[in-house]
């Protein structure tokens, strides 16, 4: 049913996801009596309650609401599926609309000036001749762009919301779609809803189910194209692949296309899929490289990163003799360096690009300290940049090396927003004589592309990491490809130097990495038996409380393979721990955000990079403030105090427990890890190794030893599809050949 009315008041509004419960006033007598509000006012209009997303919270416009009546806890409510603004035709109405706040940049005074100038044509001028708004005093070019973008965005978003109402998309998702597809997104989706397959959360099956309601042609090339794009996107998101072989992409696409078609005669053939794939290659929808099929963005990232790396390798630095400085440091400090450690230091000064690998306890930090000491001795004014992929990793780097200026890669490279596909050459090269990057196993292809394009040839670049840890969350296998390409000097540190501390963690970690199960158990490496997830969750809860009482909440972390599967998953453990260590006190100290509940004094984690904090940073929700219009949260991250709106809080999770993947690059004093056969799908050697090496002082495993031993014996043999190493070799050969062909004065231009 469809009803026309006007906003009457807000009952509930969640700014984070734009969910609204509003009162609507209407003169529509077709509204059934039982659905009407019993409230009567002097205007004699009918009132009813409407529920939906992004409903206009202003009476400056009439709205036409489509939806269904639902009888719930609070009586009958119209659950809105579509909302259309009915722009007034009078000058007063248009002025009220412009001044309503729906369009950013226009207030009451400016709205009055606009209507005085253009009258009833004010909105059509904004749509068709926006430059005429510059005739109005107070509107600059920047101001006009803000107004125009706000107007277009609001209408484009509403068009997308209306079009995708069968998909039940949230405003947040609609905004992502708008950002991906642009102002013409709605028109594009009308022609081909399968374009949605390029976006996270819109699998081919979901899109196909809706699209086929209006388009019965199973053999539509757009449908086949959607399946191909979906298969490539899934391969990247689920397996970390940058490409799929041609035969594999056709196989997976046909599986998607024919899964719901029972009759063989109606199914898509490999010839049809192959023809569509050829057309997509011809028109640039995908890229084919020796029958390896890429999404264009992944091909560009891999190719450009390889070219930049090859340039770095091509530059041969002058030889720097550091033997005197190195021997002086050894003698003064009394350090007993291994041959590999000395080699790592020497290589860092003999080449412009080198790699240092090693597990915890093998002395990587010692090597970095010596490198920093030598360069500061030889070149006191030389600028050194130290960075890591996450905030916690960069702080660990700063603490361990004594170099306080260590930062995240995102902050150094100015990558605060969501991932984009634009090159950042406009930022220029990083101004540094030496760049050191830690935890390089976490770098995915997108971040590598952004990073290597900013390194000036001739800069000394040192990459540090542990290739035996879990691979990056994003697609690609950057660190292992750099190691295996054979063109970059790699120093592997193997000798463990933590005997003096008496810790058995690094020794057990080394055994796990070798596939050995003859572990040593003791005070700092414990195993507690639990038969199932219920028992494991309860034991972990009790252990967490005990360890927190001894060492404090900042020093204890629960790490689990799964985010949301079973009682020993991160989500479930967070709820249990929250109720134990931070139970309900009052509604004033709580914030409800979707299915999340935050309380004052909760341990929390940032899940998105911002100007102030990094993805993965841990902190505390110190207090909740009710401003009247909405609640705000006061947070602290490593001493930094911030205030978050409901919208910003959507990028925060509870962090008493988190996944092993999410904690990569971080370390803490005590780590608690559930290991159970019910987690079989995730149990691999590198997962256990990564989890164990997050602990500085104590590891407590809870679960089944057979699950632990199975995981240790079970190597992750899956290889991500990437050609980065081969591309580096090809570009390096091309640059070497060009250097031989060109005269000396042109070599640097290659």
The CA-atom distances, in angstroms, between 281 and each of 15, 159, 179 are 43, 31, 25
- Residue 739 pLDDT: 76
What is residue 421's predicted lDDT score, i.e. its pLDDT?
56
DSSP class of residue 440?
Answer: G
Give the chain's largest Cα–Cα span: 94
- Residue 81 to residue 139: CA distance in whole angstroms: 36
Residue 108 has pLDDT above 90, yes or no: no
Alpha helices in 552-656 (DSSP H): 570-581, 646-649
d(CA 248, CA 277): 12
Residue 491 pairs in a beta bridge with 356
> Strands 652-654, 603-606: parallel, antiparallel or unpaired by DSSP?
antiparallel
pLDDT in tens, 262-304: 888 889 999 999 999 999 999 999 999 999 999 999 999 999 9
Structure-model confidence comparison of residues 236 and 749, the more confident one:
236
Q: How is 491-534 classified by DSSP, letter by letter? A: EEE-----GGGT--HHHHHHHHHTT------BTTEEEEE-SSHH
Element (H, E) at 559: strand 556-560
Closest of 508, 463, 457, 500 to residue 481, by C-alpha: 463
Quote the distance between the C-alpha of residue 103 and its chain's center. Answer: 30
**pLDDT > 70? residue 165:** no
| Pair 18, 33: CB distance under 8 Å | no
Task: Provide mean pLDDT across the span 143-165.
Answer: 72
Q: How confident is the model at residue 749 (pLDDT cuts 50, 70, 90)?
A: very low
Q: Which of 237-241, 262-266, 487-491, 684-688 has the lowest mean pLDDT?
A: 262-266
Residue 647 pLDDT grade (very low, low, confident, very high; cuts 50, 70, 90): confident
d(CA 493, CA 473): 25
What pLDDT, on a 0 to 100 scale, did the predictor assign at position 14?
A: 73
Tell me which residue of 422, 478, 324, 408 sits closest to 637, measured CA to CA: 408
Q: How far apart are CA 23 and CA 142, in angstroms?
A: 36
pLDDT above 80: residue 61: no
Q: Average pLDDT over the chain, rounded to whole? A: 87
What pLDDT was estimated at residue 257?
Answer: 92
Residue 55 is encoded by which pair of tokens? 């409903």
- pLDDT recorded at residue 700: 97
User: Mean pLDDT across the stretch 735-739?
Assistant: 84
Distance in angstroms (rounded) separating the CA atoms of residues 383 and 179: 38
Distance set, CA 321 to CA 313, 324, 345, 348, 435 (Å): 20, 8, 11, 11, 20
pLDDT reported for residue 270: 94
> Quick count: other Cβ atoms within 10 Å of Cβ 117?
15
In terms of pLDDT, which residue wins out, 611 or 585?
585
Percentage of residues in the chain with pLDDT exceeding 70?
90
CA-to-CA dists, residue 516 to 362, 507, 520, 682, 714, angstroms: 19, 11, 11, 19, 11
| Residue 314 pLDDT exceeds 70 | yes
At residue 498 the predicted structure's pLDDT band, cuts being 50, 70 and 90, is low
| β-pair type (460-465, 353-358) | parallel
The better pLDDT of the pair 125, 483 is held by 483
pLDDT of 565: 80
Among the residue ranges 133-142, 177-186, 435-444, 626-635, the one predicted with the least confidence is: 177-186
What band does 144 get if pLDDT is binned at 50, 70 and 90? confident
pLDDT digits (tens, 9 = 90+) for 371-401: 999 999 999 999 999 999 988 888 889 888 8
Identify the band that residue 550 occupies on the pLDDT scale cut at 50, 70 and 90: very high
For the segment 716-741, the average pLDDT, to the nearest whole number, is 90
pLDDT, position 52: 82
Which range in 16-25, 131-140, 207-216 is most confidently predicted, on average pLDDT? 131-140
pLDDT at position 155 over 60: yes
Q: Is the pLDDT of residue 39 over 90?
A: no
Condensed to tens digits (0 to 9), the pLDDT of residues 183-238 reads 677 777 777 778 777 676 677 887 887 677 666 688 888 889 989 998 998 899 88
Residue 745 — pLDDT band, cuts 50, 70, 90? Answer: very low
What three-state secondary structure class fits 308?
helix
As a whole-number percent, the residues of the chain with pLDDT over 90 amount to: 49
Half-sphere exposure of 654 (CA within 13 A, CB side): 28
pLDDT of the residue at 67: 82
Residue 722 has pLDDT above 60, yes or no: yes
Higher-scoring residue by pLDDT: 331, 203: 331
Query: Does position 55 have pLDDT exceeding 60, yes or no?
Result: yes
pTM: 0.76
Task: Tell me what the mean pLDDT of segment 504-529 comes to.
Answer: 94
Secondary structure (3-state) at 39? coil
């Amino acid at each position: 049913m469809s009803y026309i009315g006007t906003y009457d008041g807000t009952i509930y509004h969640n700014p984070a996801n734009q969910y609204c419960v509003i009162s609507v006033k209407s003169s529509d007598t077709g509204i059934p009596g039982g659905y009407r509000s019993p409230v009567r006012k002097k205007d004699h209009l009918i009132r009813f309650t409407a529920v939906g997303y992004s409903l206009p919270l202003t009476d400056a416009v009439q709205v036409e609401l489509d939806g269904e009546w639902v009888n719930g806890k609070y009586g009958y409510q119209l659950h809105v599926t579509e909302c259309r603004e009915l722009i007034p035709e009078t000058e007063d109405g248009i002025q009220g609309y412009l001044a309503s706040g729906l369009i950013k940049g226009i207030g009451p005074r400016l709205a009055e000036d606009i209507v005085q100038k253009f009258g009833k044509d004010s909105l059509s001028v904004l749509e068709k001749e926006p430059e005429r708004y510059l005739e109005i005093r107070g509107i600059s070019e920047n101001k006009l762009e803000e107004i125009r973008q706000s107007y277009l965005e609001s209408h484009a978003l509403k068009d997308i919301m209306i079009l995708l109402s069968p998909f039940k998309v949230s405003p947040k998702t609609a905004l992502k779609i708008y950002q991906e597809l642009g102002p013409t997104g709605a028109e594009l989706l009308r022609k081909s809803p399968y374009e949605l397959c390029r976006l996270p959360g819109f699998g081919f099956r979901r899109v196909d189910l809706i699209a086929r309601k209006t388009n019965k042609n199973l053999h539509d090339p757009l449908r086949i194209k959607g399946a191909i794009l979906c298969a490539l996107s899934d391969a990247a998101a689920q397996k970390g692949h940058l490409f799929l072989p041609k035969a594999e992409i056709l196989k997976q696409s046909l599986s998607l296309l024919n899964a719901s078609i029972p009759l063989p005669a109606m199914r898509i053939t490999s010839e049809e899929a192959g023809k569509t794939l050829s057309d997509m290659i011809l028109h640039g929808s995908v890229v084919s490289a020796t029958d390896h099929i890429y999404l264009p963005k992944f091909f560009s990232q891999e190719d450009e990163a390889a070219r930049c790396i090859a340039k770095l390798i091509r530059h041969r630095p002058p030889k720097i003799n550091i033997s005197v400085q190195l021997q002086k440091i050894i003698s003064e400090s009394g350090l007993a360096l291994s041959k590999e450690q000395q080699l790592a230091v020497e290589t860092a000064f003999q080449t412009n690009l080198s790699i240092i690998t090693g597990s915890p306890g093998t002395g990587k930090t010692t090597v970095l300290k010596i490198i920093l000491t030598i360069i500061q001795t030889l070149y006191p004014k030389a600028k050194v940049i130290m960075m890591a992929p996450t905030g916690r990793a960069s702080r660990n780097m700063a603490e361990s090396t004594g170099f306080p200026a260590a930062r995240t890669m995102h902050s150094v490279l100015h990558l605060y927003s969501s991932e984009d596909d634009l090159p950042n050459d406009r930022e220029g090269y990083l101004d540094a004589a030496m760049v050191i990057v830690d935890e390089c196993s976490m770098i995915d292809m997108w971040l590598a592309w952004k990073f290597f394009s900013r390194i000036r040839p001739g800069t000394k670049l040192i990459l540090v990491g542990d290739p035996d840890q879990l691979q990056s969350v994003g697609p690609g296998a950057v660190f292992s490809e750099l190691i295996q390409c054979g063109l970059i000097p790699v120093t592997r540190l193997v000798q463990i130097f933590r005997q003096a501390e008496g810790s058995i963690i690094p020794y057990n970690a080394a055994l796990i990495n070798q596939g050995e199960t003859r572990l040593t158990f003791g005070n700092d490496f414990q195993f507690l038996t639990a038969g199932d997830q219920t028992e494991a969750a309860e034991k972990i809860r009790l252990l967490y409380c005990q360890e927190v009482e001894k060492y404090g909440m900042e020093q204890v972390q629960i790490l689990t393979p799964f985010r949301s599967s079973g009682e020993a998953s991160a989500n479930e453990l967070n709820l249990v721990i929250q109720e134990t260590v931070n139970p309900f006190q009052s509604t004033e100290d709580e914030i409800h955000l979707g299915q999340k509940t935050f309380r004052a004094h909760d341990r929390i984690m940032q899940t998105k990079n911002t100007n102030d904090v990094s993805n993965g940073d841990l902190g505390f929700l110190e207090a909740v403030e009710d401003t009247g219009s909405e609640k705000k949260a006061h947070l602290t991250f490593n001493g930094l105090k911030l205030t978050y709106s409901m919208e910003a809080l959507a990028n925060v999770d509870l962090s008493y427990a988190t996944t092993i993947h999410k904690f990569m690059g971080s370390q803490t004093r005590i780590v608690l890890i559930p290991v159970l056969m019910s987690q079989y799908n995730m149990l691999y050697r590198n997962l256990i190794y990564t989890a164990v090496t997050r602990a500085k002082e104590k590891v407590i495993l809870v679960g089944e030893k057979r699950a632990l031993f199975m995981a240790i014996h079970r190597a992750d043999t899956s290889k991500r599809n990437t050609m980065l190493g081969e591309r580096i070799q090809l570009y390096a050969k091309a640059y070497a050949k060009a250097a031989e062909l060109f005269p000396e004065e042109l070599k640097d231009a290659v």
